[in-house]
């Protein structure tokens, strides 16, 4: 069986890396990789770290392109790749524009589609935007669905997806996290970004690690988050570390509000191993990221989610994550409470998986190929 993995963003690459390497171990599969480079620099870092060399690189990232422009570019460019590679199966991931458009193109050519990290739902088409619709759209096209949790599986069954086409595997991001954590711990491993961080950030303080990039938080949402962080930064026992997303809608607000403030460290986006190191050394994480909500439980880190709804409710139900939205006062109160009272989770069982998801995906494909 010839399998083509298609992805375009850093999170997709991180989560597809374990699948790629597990598939390469299976001699009955021929594995090819196509990247759209929906993200460029951040994607390239992950490709290098996880030792993945694309067979096709569409290099479609353009400054300030609209979602419609990106969608049209992917749909047009992937056509030639699919016709050249002639895969039996295309694997896409999650909720990106790349996943949705590649799935549509494969469908048009009669090529089967497998959807990794399928079945997540917020049931609010505006949040996350446009990811919720991308994911639902991809589910309608996919022939094989690899779900991370029981709830995600049930969502698909409720939508009429046949149970024989759904395989619950856990989330491959846990595979990637555990592999990366182990690599960082190796005595001979050295990473220049990590060495700089060790010299820059006061590790004797409680680190509040911050990320943010969601479109629905542009403007007032990011301003509220920044205002809350200014209040938290007044504590002497806290350091706020914020790798600022490259998007101008994020950078302009964050730099205007938080630059040159005591106890606040605005840094450039870091590579995946450096970010894992930051998560390991954080006290809590404030984020609108989906992947971090999945990773943090394994590391025992509480997460405050700056969104009104999450398509990853399992972490919230288990007590690992808390929805705070972009309400300034709620963010301040919740961070203070965790900084003052949190002593660790009683039991750490990550609802998103145990690090064996990629192998389960491969095992499922082997069975279907027989």
Mind telling me the catalytic residues?
Answer: 95, 117, 131, 213, 215, 245
| 75 vs 364: CA distance, rounded Å | 28
In this structure, the strands spanning 264-267 and 284-287 are unpaired
- 39 closest CA partner among 21, 18, 65: 65
Q: Are 16 and 2 in contact, with CB atoms under 8 Å apart?
A: no
Cα-to-chain-centroid distance, residue 174:
11
Element holding 210 (H helix, E strand): strand 206-210
| 138 vs 118: CA distance, rounded Å | 8
Spell 344-370 as b/e; 16+ CB within 10 A means b.
eeeeeebbbbebbbbbbbbebbeebee
Q: Are 292 and 211 in contact, with CB atoms under 8 Å apart?
A: yes
Count CB atoms within 10 A of the CB of residue 69: 12
**Token pair in block for residue 173:** 């991001």
Torsion of CA 244, 246, 249, 253, to 10 degrees: 30
Report in angstroms the alpha-carbon separations of 7 from 51, 157, 203, 245, 247.
15, 26, 35, 20, 20
| 203 vs 195: CA distance, rounded Å | 13
């Amino acid at each position: 069986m010839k399998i083509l993995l298609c992805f375009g963003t850093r999170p997709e690459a991180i989560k597809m890396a374990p699948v790629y390497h597990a598939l390469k171990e299976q001699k009955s599969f021929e594995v090819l990789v196509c990247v759209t480079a929906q993200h460029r620099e951040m994607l390239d870092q992950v490709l290098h770290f996880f030792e993945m060399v694309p067979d096709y690189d569409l290099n479609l990232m353009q400054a300030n392109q609209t979602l419609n422009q990106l969608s049209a570019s992917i749909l047009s460019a992937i056509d030639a790749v699919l016709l050249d590679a002639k895969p039996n199966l295309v694997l896409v991931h999650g909720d990106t524009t790349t996943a949705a458009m590649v799935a549509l193109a494969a469908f048009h050519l009669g090529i089967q589609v497998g959807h990794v990290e399928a079945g997540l739902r917020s049931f609010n088409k505006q949040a996350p935007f446009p990811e919720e619709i991308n994911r639902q759209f991809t589910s309608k096209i996919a022939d094989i669905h690899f779900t991370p949790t029981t709830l995600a599986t049930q969502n698909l069954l409720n939508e009429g997806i046949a149970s024989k086409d759904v395989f619950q595997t856990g989330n491959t991001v846990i595979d990637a996290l555990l592999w990366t954590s182990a690599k960082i711990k190796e005595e001979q491993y050295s990473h220049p970004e990590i060495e700089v961080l060790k010299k820059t950030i006061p590790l004797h303080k409680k680190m509040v690690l911050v990320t943010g990039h969601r479109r629905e938080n542009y403007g007032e949402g990011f301003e509220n988050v920044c205002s809350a962080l200014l209040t938290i930064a007044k504590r002497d026992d806290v350091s706020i570390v914020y790798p600022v997303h490259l998007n101008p809608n994020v950078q302009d607000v964050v730099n205007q509000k938080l630059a040159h403030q005591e106890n606040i460290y605005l840094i450039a986006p870091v590579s995946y191993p450096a970010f894992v190191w930051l998560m390991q050394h954080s006290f809590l994480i404030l984020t609108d990221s989906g992947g971090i909500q999945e990773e943090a439980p394994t590391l025992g880190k509480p997460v405050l989610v700056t969104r009104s709804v999450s398509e990853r409710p399992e972490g919230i139900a288990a007590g690992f994550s808390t929805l705070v939205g972009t309400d300034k006062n709620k963010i301040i109160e919740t961070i203070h409470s965790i900084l003052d009272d949190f002593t660790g989770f009683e039991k750490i069982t990550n609802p998103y998986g145990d690090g064996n998801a990629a192998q389960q995906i491969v095992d499922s494909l082997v069975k279907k190929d027989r």
